[in-house]
Amino acid sequence: MNSFQDKVVVITGAGNGIGRALAQLLAKQGAKLALNSRTASHLEETVRSLGLDDSRTFTRAFDISDKRAVFQFASDVNEHFGQVDVVINNAGVAITGLTFEELEISDFEWIFSINFMGVVFMSKAFLPVLKNQKSATALVNVSSLFGMVPMALKTPYCSTKYAVRGLTDSLRMELLDSNVKVIGVYPGGVKTSITAKALKAETEPRYTKTFEKLLVMPPEEAAQIIANGILQSKENIIVGKDAKKAIFAYRWLPSILNKMALKTMREFKGKKD
């Protein structure tokens, strides 16, 4: 794919953060956009910021853990534009600051229904449309640095993002002989409100505040790196020096991350030697 000009790009979670920044960037680069988010007013705000002609956007607010709504969206987008070139599975949520033992099983069920099953539904619903194109298309799944590197007090989030990586890498193999490029995105800290909005964030406000300080990259910069990576057909797009360093450290010096985890547990959960 040489450019986004007149390509139809689907983005989930476009009502905020990285998804909104991607919509704004790709609109400037000439794409037609099919946008989803959970909250209708957030999506409307994104669309207003694009300044695009109505014919170049299609929006639908729904929860991506709703299988029926996802399949209806795929069918409506295809009917509206008659083609889909890129699907970016970006919508995601977090739970943060609690140990596995403090969490409920329902917390895992909730986050998996969005961060993982949402990606499964979207991929299932849009894959036939992507395969149907004669030209090259892309299925882009936003995982996280925490889909490559584990972290204490993030077991549910890490588990969903590792699962997204497994799905992405395995599906890529199945589609090697097709027109669909499957791309994984692994951002480090991006300055959005995902941590502040995380489920049960209020239970550990000190942890939430500390972790938020690590989210530094502007979402516009993350969007630019992701868009460039898609055009370059990269298999894995690592976003940010922090992500690159942590992935390197976990691979070659995992004891460093263990030390960080011990420090985190002692600081926030009062664990002793």
Tell me which residues touch ligand NAP (CB under 6 A).
12-13, 15-19, 36-39, 42, 63-65, 90-93, 114, 142, 144-145, 187, 189-190, 192-194, 197, 215
- Is residue 62 classed exposed, middle or buried when 0-12, 13-18 and 19+ CB atoms within 10 A define those classes? middle
Q: How far apart are CA 85 and CA 220, in angstroms?
A: 22
Q: Per DSSP, what are the bridge partners of residue 89?
A: 141
- Check 157, 162, 186, 207 and give the catalytic one: 157
Distances in Å between the alpha carbon of 47 and those of 17, 18, 89, 208?
Answer: 14, 14, 18, 30
Q: How far apart are CA 207 and CA 141, in angstroms?
A: 28
Burial 197-233 (b: 16+ CB within 10 A, else e): ebbbbeebeebbeebbeebebebeebbebbbebbeee
Choose between 119 and 127: whose C-beta lies nearer to ligand NAP.
Answer: 119
**Least distance in Å: CB of 149 to ligand NAP?**
11
Please give the helix or strand (H or E) that residue 138 lies within, else none.
strand 137-142
Q: How far apart are CA 10 and CA 28, in angstroms?
A: 15
The reply to whether 157 belongs to the active site is yes
**Least distance in Å: CB of 142 to ligand NAP?**
4
Choose between 41 and 55: whose C-beta lies nearer to ligand NAP.
Answer: 41
Q: How far apart are CA 239 and CA 22, in angstroms?
A: 14
Choose between 184 and 187: whose C-beta lies nearer to ligand NAP.
Answer: 187
Closest by CA to 207, choosing from 95, 117, 87, is: 95
Choose between 62 and 82: whose C-beta lies nearer to ligand NAP.
Answer: 62
**Least distance in Å: CB of 62 to ligand NAP?**
7
Choose between 192 and 264: whose C-beta lies nearer to ligand NAP.
Answer: 192
DSSP 8-state class, residue 93? -
**Least distance in Å: CB of 45 to ligand NAP?**
9
Closest by CA to 124, choosing from 57, 191, 67, is: 67
Active site amino acids: 157
